[in-house]
Amino acid sequence: MGLRFNLTAFVVLGMGLASAAIRVQAQGNLDDIPVTQKKPVTDDYHGMSVTEDFRWLEEGQSPVVQKWSDRQNSYARSILDNLPGVPMLRKQIKKILSAKTVGYGSVALSGEKCFAIKKEPPRQQPFIVVMDSVDDVSGARILVDPNELDASGTTSIDWYKVSPDGKWLAVSMSSGGSEVGNLSLYDVETGKAAASDRIQYVNSGTAGGSLAWFPDSSGFFYTRHFKVAPDNPDDQNVYQQVYQHRLGQAAANDKYELGKGFPQISEIQLAMDSQTGNLLATVQKGDGGKFAHHLRNSDGQWRQFSRFGDGVKQAVFGKQSDLLVVTLRGAPKGKIVRVPIATLDVQKSPTLIPEGEDTIVTSGVAFWGETTILPMQDRLYVVYQLGGPSELRCFDYTGQPLPAPDQLNVAAVHGLQAMDGESVLFGNTSYTEPDAYYRYDAASAKTLKTQIANVSATTMQGARVIRKFATSADGTKIPLNIILPPGVTADKSNPCLVYGYGGYGVNLEPRFRPLNRILMDYKVIYVVTNLRGGGEYGEQWHLEGNLTNKQNVFDDFAACVKYMSSNGYTTPERTAILGGSNGGLLMGAALTQHPKMVKAVVSLVGIYDMLRVELSPNGAFNVTEFGTVKNKEQFKALFGYSPYHNVQDGVDYPAVLFMTGENDPRVDPMQSRKMTARLQQANAADSPILLRTSANAGHGSGNSLTEQIEQSVDLYAFLFNHLRVD
List the CATH number of the domain containing 587: 3.40.50.1820
Q: Is the pLDDT of residue 203 over 70?
A: yes
Residue type at 600 in one-letter notation:
A
Residue 88 lies in a domain: yes
Q: Rounded to an integer, what distance in angstroms lies between the CA atom of residue 68 and that of residue 570?
A: 38
Asked if residue 170 and residue 51 are part of one domain, the reply reads: no
The fraction of the chain above a pLDDT of 90, given in percent, is 78
Tens-digit pLDDT profile for residues 205-241: 878 999 999 999 999 999 999 988 888 877 778 899 9
Asked if residue 621 and residue 522 are part of one domain, the reply reads: yes
Asked if residue 87 and residue 113 are part of one domain, the reply reads: no
Q: What would the DSSP string read from start to end of 261-306? A: TS-TTEEEEEEE-TTT--EEEEEEETTSS-EEEEEE-TTS-EEEEE
Asked if residue 140 and residue 183 are part of one domain, the reply reads: yes
Tens-digit pLDDT profile for residues 652-697: 999 999 999 876 667 889 999 999 999 999 999 999 999 999 876 6
In this structure, the number of other CB atoms found within 10 A of the CB of residue 151 comes to: 9
Domain ends where: 245, 263, 281? 263
Residue 29: what pLDDT? 58
Average pLDDT, stretch 610-637?
94
Measured CA distances, 446 to 5, 439, 441, 666, 691 (Å): 35, 8, 6, 43, 52
Residue 71 lies in a domain: yes
Reduced 3-state DSSP string for 122-146: CCCCCEEEEECECCECCCCEEEECH
Asked if residue 179 and residue 142 are part of one domain, the reply reads: yes
Asked if residue 566 and residue 688 are part of one domain, the reply reads: yes
Residue 275 lies in a domain: no
Range of the domain at 248: 102-263
Asked if residue 85 and residue 234 are part of one domain, the reply reads: no
Residue 85 lies in a domain: yes
Asked if residue 553 and residue 653 are part of one domain, the reply reads: yes
Q: Rounded to an integer, what distance in angstroms lies between the CA atom of residue 236 and that of residue 206?
A: 10
Tens-digit pLDDT profile for residues 495-554: 999 999 999 999 999 999 988 988 998 899 999 999 999 999 999 999 999 999 999 999
Q: What would the DSSP string read from start to end of 156-196? A: EEEEEEE-TTSSEEEEEEEETT---EEEEEEETTT-PBPSS
Residue 423 lies in a domain: no
Asked if residue 115 and residue 90 are part of one domain, the reply reads: no
Residue 678 lies in a domain: yes
Residue 31: what pLDDT? 64
Tens-digit pLDDT profile for residues 273-285: 999 999 999 999 9
Tens-digit pLDDT profile for residues 167-196: 999 999 999 888 889 999 999 999 999 988
Residue 175 lies in a domain: yes
Q: Rounded to an integer, what distance in angstroms lies between the CA atom of residue 563 and that of residue 480?
A: 9
Q: How many domains does the chain have?
A: 2
Domain ends where: 263, 283, 308? 263
Asked if residue 112 and residue 88 are part of one domain, the reply reads: no
Residue 388 lies in a domain: no
Confidence of residue 701 (pLDDT cuts 50, 70, 90): low
Q: Is the pLDDT of residue 452 over 60?
A: yes
CATH number at residue 219: 2.130.10.120
Q: What values do phi and psi take at 186, rounded to 5?
A: -120, 140
Asked if residue 143 and residue 72 are part of one domain, the reply reads: no
The fraction of the chain above a pLDDT of 70, given in percent, is 93
Asked if residue 682 and residue 572 are part of one domain, the reply reads: yes
